[in-house]
Structure 1
Amino acid sequence: MTVFMNRVGVDIGGTFTDVALSHAAGLDTCKVLTNYAQPEQAILDGIQIAADKAGVAMRDIGQVIHGTTLVTNALIERRGAKLAFITTEGFRDVIEMRSENRFEQYDLNLTLPKPMVPREDRLTLHERMGPKGEVLLALDPAEVDAMVKTILAGDYEAVAIGLMHAYANDAHEVQMAEALRAAAPEMSISLSSVISPQMRELPRFNTVIANAYVQPQVADYLGRLVRRLGEAGVTAPVFMLHSGGGLISVDVASEQPVRLLESGPAGGAIFAADFARGHGLDSVLSFDMGGTTAKICLIEEGAPKTANTFEVARTYRFKKGSGMTVSTPVVEMVEIGAGGGSIASIDTLGRVQVGPRSAASEPGPACYGRGGEDPTVTDANLVLGRLDPDNFAGGAIALSLQAADRAIDAKLARRLQMNAPEAASGITEMVDENMANAARVHTVENGRDIEHFTMIGFGGGAPLHACRLCEKLGIRELIIPPGAGVGSAIGFLKAPFSYEATRGLFQRLDQFDAQAVNAVLTDLEAEATAFVSAGAKDAVTTTRVTAFMRYAGQGWEIPVVLPCKIFADADQAEVLAAFERAYRKLFGRVIDGLAIEITNWSLVVASALPATPPVERHAHGASVTPLRTRQFFDMALRRIVDAQEVDRAAMTAGKAVEGPAIIIENETTTIVTSGFRAIGQGDGSLRLIRKGDS
């Protein structure tokens, strides 16, 4: 007899902490306000609430899966360890010189972001490795001893070591680290050859610096979380969702916290991908809007698009290039400061702007009555009738319409010489246009036509805004899954145990060395398998191999998925064909006559998940009985409309409601605009279809 394991997923967001508890009788969820001073307290409170609803004792929880924005927030807010960076002589200023690209071409007063490590804390060693791992200049033990003394005298909490070409030969990095650990066993030390063993010194240096910068803080937080869970009776193992969309142990997360950069949003992408597979959708735009940010991700053939680099802590209007590029496996998405707590303001030209500043959970939107005075997107939605002040978050948080109206009137409406509802409509239209623009750019950058995609919306804010986004983008179908308000937390429960190992190995394709490639892949598979086995000992696993390739002279590579096998030199033609397929899919053509290069290799080992059962899909259905009639402002029609209010529980398979309609549930509210109708589906999701389509 199989015993069901009670599993809980916990996602800490900027405004809410979401909890999803899977148990034998089903799924129970809840949202609690995030506690910034003690984030683990919100987790404990949320788990207790969900466990009480499910009738599950805390001691009977068998697994906790957690995602957090702690790493990203620490990098953005520069709240990390006092850090020293040790590099090769002559390369001290690489992280300050950056890539020398101007992310704002016409700003004559452009200020580059400050490097994570000040120049006086960037130290150098007289050593040098070659790109093939050959020792060009040996590391002198006397210099190592002198460096240890300098580090100890500097009272540093953490050290990042990034030497030239360490991805090809890590001997000098290991030698330096061993000396430091012998002298200061408690010091946090990160090696680029462990954290990011890939070519390109800028992202490799940035990645090891980011890891070392947050490691003491993350290790302390995770240790505190495990301890307090144990004190509350939850003695189950805790796993973390990494930014590539898989689970790793707390120990691995403590050693390599840079892998947690986008752990929360990655859970949302997994959540959406699961529903995409169930509905048989090959082209999906995942739209995740919470209290602080909105995330948009492409999901094709049932899997989120992934990348091996990510830019964090953008400092200039969220522009690409203004942040810190790190090389770590990540679900590729665009993220903007557009959430329920995003603050609306008027710029110097008299235009309404929304975000990136957020009221978050402390003090929160003005309507929360917790001291917030700035108008936010949530305040605007309340004034426009999209939210019920007496039934927000299942009635757990009473909203003040008067406070929302007062904040919008004082900060926006009077200055714009309009009334509060008119100003509120400007707020929602601006935030919707910002998100629509982000979606357009993301799909164009990936060579896709957005009109052919289906949107899957989740997060507390997405169901309120998704219909309007579809109108702006020309998207004809929208799916709102069950549990959408806590989608990322549910996604954690659907994630596999996985680990992505990477290694730099530069080759010209016309000089393909299969023996060297096989040696690297064997090492990567052993590394990845060891990490996965630690969390899922006897699980069936799958392996995916990716080569990062480019035409000679190009500045960046594209990922090319290859068969997992023992390569032979004769497989050069197969690798070429795979590269040209990938290149043509992305850019529409290939380039004849140019040499092709391979720069890095990646290998992912993941535990196999059960197949997602197909969903019974409905395009029409019998009308559902509404609870009452409410009014909200429909932006497409530019007027207030009478809408049917429907309980989400009544939207069973085959039940339908014509827009305008408002579908309510505890964690979110779905707005069905006048141009759409909503139909319940076999998996409990809502399918919103543009009227006139079948």
Structure 2
Amino acid sequence: MSSASLSSSSPGLRIAADVGGTFTDVAVFDEDSGGIRLGKTLTTPSSLIEGMNHGVGKAGADFADARLFLHGTTVAINALLERKGARTALVTTKGFRDIYEIGRINRPEAYNLFFRKHQPLVERALRVEVDERMDAAGEVLRPLIDTEVEAIARRLLEEGVEAVAILFLHSYRNPDHEIRARNIISRMMPNAFVTASHELSQEYREFERSSTVAANAYIGPHVTRYLSEADRVLSGVKFHGKLLIVQSTGGLYDAAQARRECIRMLESGPAAGVIGTRELCAVIGLRNAIAFDMGGTTAKAGVILDGVELTANQVMVGGYAEGLPIQIPMIDIEEVGTGGGSIARLAQGKSLRVGPESAGAVPGPVCYGNGGTEPTVTDANLLLGRLAPDLFLGGEMKLDVDGAARAMTDQISGPLGLSVAEAADGIIRIAVTQMANVVKRVTTARGLDARDFAMVAYGGAGPLHAVLVARELQIPRVIIPNAPGHFSAYGMLVSDLRRDYVRTLFARLADAPFDSFNAIFRELEQRGRDDIDEAAPERLDIIVKHAVDMRYIGQEHAVTVEIDSGAFEARDIDAIKAAFDAVHNQRYGYASNDESAEIVNLRLSVIGVIAKPRLAPLDAAASASADEALIGVRPVEFGVMGGRLETPLYDRARLLRGHRLTGPALIQEYASTTVLLPGDVLTVDQMGNLDIKIEVQP
């Protein structure tokens, strides 16, 4: 991958590393030459930072020469999902210790007799009450007694608590009691991770705020140890630059903030991929796109609508049925446990299941030869001929076809009375259906039609399956970017520093207190500018975005509406109401122009714009024929879409702008393989992207 030069006040290397469940991807941007170099290595679960260091070496770079290290990791989300966090206590207002467990009493499956509600991260015995109380206006009803908090801290020390979450009623309006309690507990428990809800969200809804601060405390010690280990290793390799972490918004924040606000990095890697998709769309003039990311462990999907990534203000980590709400801004990403390493097994009644358990990096799929014993999606692709066993990772890792075939025969095809190819095809078809459902959750469930979007597919396994998912959903166009196996790492290189704020303030739009609105916006903007100035490696241009959460009077839930700041300065009620009606209509299919509305929350985002790498266009091909990129022909099984076909294999590095291919075909590159189905047509665009027109069935 190459790029045009980028001016900088202090040029050097900018290193980005995305640590996934199976592979660690590294992209290194040289601000002097404008080039981007790539490295990929198996993730090292015992020491993730060591795996990153290895990947940087494979990219021909050195941390000692870098001025910025941008990092996205699954360490936070994994600790939460796998329930491997710290022994945590929740300190809350008297009478409210059980709101965290009671929740919203959601019953997604009303007739499911085996339904299980969410399981709190904090056991009831460690949910401790304090006899204090604020009212909804932030006025003190019962004062906080310091000696009571001190006694609680002594008890928690005796209980061996490692992390403490503090949630007091209405602290979003007045955080004074939370601040005092945090200071006392931090003083008496100096080795504990202590966090208060107002530091993460100044938004109403006590259950969601309880869940958010509890999750931050639960993963806090684990993330803090990880970042401390990263500091130690980086110091050892003489890195003297700035370490920035990718947030779930796709923005960057510094490591000091990441230690306090760990919950903001839950979806850091996937979010960077969506930001990369947004930048790609801007370059090629695409307004609407589905970002589809398939790696070794999971598949993720997000949406770019009108050139902007869709965001959510709350997500259910662990799924809607049993998950825990996290109330912070993040890119709206849905995911499923279907990746290249997802294990295929026969369940009760010999029904075939794929995932969510993954073979991960250790032992990995059977074909990796690292001790894996159960067939995976990667093994199925190899047995169908869609992966070249001698070209995986540029030939660095030879794949074991015979081992994969034995595992498939013993555990899947033999018991089902199928051929190896039929069993492998069944695994892929099940995986594709599961991934198509994820795409539906970010489109159809949001009132969008997937057929109106192009799909940008990346991740090591994304190009293998993208056209299959597109056909399932009748998506007419798929784009495979340059170096798709490193695309999330590339997304970090085009990310900006970002801080997001929310402040609850209930007001009817008709008599909205615009003076108060504008004062709050000015306060939040100054906080954001100060935070970014402190974290930035240099002086940055600032972009400020304003939004409000609104609803019709009488509704319970609100939608977020981005509003130009001029509408608040001009007190333009009609413009604000029209913007709300449009968003509500898109989300729910109706709007009421005559119905009164109210504002619930004010939102403000402050973005520090970092200079971006600019990719250079490819040389033009002499003709549309891509014969010069042909490196072989191999038999590939396409199942119901064509059966077993002799399929040409092309080297992507040799494809030039204007080259055109008609499926079936395989396009091979270092960290990925693109599958072109019979009837699909691929054109290489001026930036080197593979632009595929899908033969959609009516």
Q: Compute the TM-score of the two structures, normalised by the length of structure 1.
A: 0.95
Question: How much has 1:322 moved relative to structure 2?
Answer: 1.6
Larger displacement relative to structure 2 (518-527 or 162-171): 518-527
Question: How much has 1:422 moved relative to structure 2?
Answer: 0.6
1:188-199 alignment, distance < 5 Å: 188-199=193-204
Name the structure 2 match of 1:670.
Answer: 674
Q: Given the alignment, which residue of 139, 163, 177 partners 1:158?
A: 163
Question: How much has 1:475 moved relative to structure 2?
Answer: 1.4
Q: Given the alignment, which residue of 271, 276, 291 partners 1:271?
A: 276
- Decide whether the 8 Å contact of 2:150 with 2:188 is kept in 1: no
* Partner-residue secondary structure (3-state), 1:431: helix
- Decide whether the 8 Å contact of 1:541 with 1:605 is kept in 2: yes
- Decide whether the 8 Å contact of 1:514 with 1:569 is kept in 2: no
- Decide whether the 8 Å contact of 1:291 with 1:460 is kept in 2: yes
CA distance in 2, matches of 1:77, 1:68: 15
Larger displacement relative to structure 2 (336-345 or 103-112): 103-112
Task: For 1:556, give the aligned amino acid.
Answer: H
* Partner-residue secondary structure (3-state), 1:517: helix
Name the structure 2 match of 1:590.
Answer: 591
Cα 1:336–1:460 change in 2 (3 A) is: same
Q: Given the alignment, which residue of 627, 647, 656 partners 1:643?
A: 647
Task: For 2:315, give the aligned amino acid.
Answer: F
Cα 1:554–1:49 change in 2 (3 A) is: same
Q: Does 1:343 align with 2:343?
A: yes
CA distance in 1, matches of 2:99, 2:62: 53
Name the structure 2 match of 1:623.
Answer: 625
- Decide whether the 8 Å contact of 2:617 with 2:688 is kept in 1: no
Larger displacement relative to structure 2 (18-27 or 396-405): 18-27
Task: For 2:411, give the aligned amino acid.
Answer: K
CA distance in 2, matches of 1:606, 1:635: 48
Name the structure 2 match of 1:452.
Answer: 452
CA distance in 2, matches of 1:289, 1:635: 22
Name the structure 2 match of 1:17.
Answer: 24
Name the structure 2 match of 1:524.
Answer: 524
Q: Deviations over 1:619-651 (max 9, x none)?
A: 996111111111211245240111111100121
Larger displacement relative to structure 2 (629-638 or 285-294): 629-638
CA RMSD across the alignment: 2.1
- Decide whether the 8 Å contact of 2:504 with 2:601 is kept in 1: yes
CA distance in 2, matches of 1:116, 1:218: 16
Question: How much has 1:272 moved relative to structure 2?
Answer: 1.0
Q: Does 1:578 align with 2:579?
A: yes
CA distance in 2, matches of 1:643, 1:633: 9
Q: Does 1:30 align with 2:39?
A: yes
CA distance in 2, matches of 1:61, 1:609: 16
- Decide whether the 8 Å contact of 1:292 with 1:338 is kept in 2: yes
Larger displacement relative to structure 2 (557-566 or 188-197): 557-566
Q: Given the alignment, which residue of 271, 283, 286 partners 2:291?
A: 286
- Decide whether the 8 Å contact of 2:552 with 2:597 is kept in 1: yes
Q: Given the alignment, which residue of 84, 92, 104 partners 2:97?
A: 92
- Decide whether the 8 Å contact of 1:199 with 1:599 is kept in 2: no
Q: Does 1:679 align with 2:683?
A: yes
Q: Given the alignment, which residue of 120, 124, 132 partners 1:115?
A: 120
Q: Given the alignment, which residue of 108, 111, 119 partners 1:106?
A: 111
Q: Deviations over 1:572-597 (max 9, x none)?
A: 33322221122123233213554322
Cα 1:640–1:250 change in 2 (3 A) is: same
Name the structure 1 match of 2:407.
Answer: 407
Name the structure 2 match of 1:534.
Answer: 534
**Number of residue pairs matched?**
684
Name the structure 2 match of 1:473.
Answer: 473
CA distance in 1, matches of 2:358, 2:212: 27
Q: Deviations over 1:384-438 (max 9, x none)?
A: 0000111111112111001111111111111211111110000001101111122
* Partner-residue secondary structure (3-state), 2:115: coil
* Partner-residue secondary structure (3-state), 2:467: helix
- Decide whether the 8 Å contact of 2:245 with 2:252 is kept in 1: yes
Question: How much has 1:180 moved relative to structure 2?
Answer: 1.5
Unaligned runs of 5+ in 2: 1-6
Task: For 2:39, give the aligned amino acid.
Answer: C
- Decide whether the 8 Å contact of 1:617 with 1:681 is kept in 2: no
CA distance in 2, matches of 1:294, 1:692: 22
Larger displacement relative to structure 2 (542-551 or 584-593): 584-593
Q: Does 1:659 align with 2:663?
A: yes
Question: How much has 1:307 moved relative to structure 2?
Answer: 1.2
* Partner-residue secondary structure (3-state), 1:144: helix
Cα 1:13–1:138 change in 2 (3 A) is: same
Question: How much has 1:181 moved relative to structure 2?
Answer: 2.4
- Decide whether the 8 Å contact of 2:470 with 2:694 is kept in 1: no
Question: How much has 1:602 moved relative to structure 2?
Answer: 1.4
CA distance in 1, matches of 2:308, 2:616: 16
Q: Given the alignment, which residue of 14, 19, 32 partners 1:7?
A: 14
CA distance in 1, matches of 2:110, 2:367: 40
Name the structure 2 match of 1:556.
Answer: 557
Name the structure 1 match of 2:3.
Answer: none
Cα 1:420–1:556 change in 2 (3 A) is: same
Name the structure 2 match of 1:46.
Answer: 55
Name the structure 2 match of 1:186.
Answer: 191
Larger displacement relative to structure 2 (623-632 or 600-609): 600-609
- Decide whether the 8 Å contact of 2:367 with 2:404 is kept in 1: yes
- Decide whether the 8 Å contact of 1:365 with 1:375 is kept in 2: yes
- Decide whether the 8 Å contact of 1:8 with 1:19 is kept in 2: yes
Identity of aligned residues (%): 34
1:361-372 alignment, distance < 5 Å: 361-372=361-372
CA distance in 1, matches of 2:650, 2:342: 28
CA distance in 2, matches of 1:98, 1:686: 47
CA distance in 2, matches of 1:304, 1:397: 36
Cα 1:578–1:510 change in 2 (3 A) is: same
- Decide whether the 8 Å contact of 2:65 with 2:239 is kept in 1: yes
Q: Compute the TM-score of the two structures, normalised by the length of structure 2.
A: 0.94
Larger displacement relative to structure 2 (380-389 or 560-569): 560-569
Cα 1:193–1:282 change in 2 (3 A) is: same
Larger displacement relative to structure 2 (423-432 or 517-526): 517-526
1:10-409 alignment, distance < 5 Å: 10-23=17-30, 24=33, 26-51=35-60, 56-314=61-319, 320-409=320-409
CA distance in 2, matches of 1:437, 1:148: 47
Task: For 2:625, give the aligned amino acid.
Answer: S
Cα 1:307–1:441 change in 2 (3 A) is: closer
Q: Deviations over 1:561-580 (max 9, x none)?
A: 01225835843333222211
- Decide whether the 8 Å contact of 2:167 with 2:210 is kept in 1: yes
CA distance in 1, matches of 2:622, 2:603: 45
Unaligned runs of 5+ in 1: 315-319
- Decide whether the 8 Å contact of 1:621 with 1:679 is kept in 2: no
* Partner-residue secondary structure (3-state), 2:321: coil
Question: How much has 1:137 moved relative to structure 2?
Answer: 1.9
CA distance in 2, matches of 1:110, 1:469: 30
Larger displacement relative to structure 2 (628-637 or 289-298): 628-637
CA distance in 2, matches of 1:134, 1:410: 69
CA distance in 1, matches of 2:287, 2:158: 58
Name the structure 2 match of 1:317.
Answer: none
Larger displacement relative to structure 2 (279-288 or 592-601): 592-601
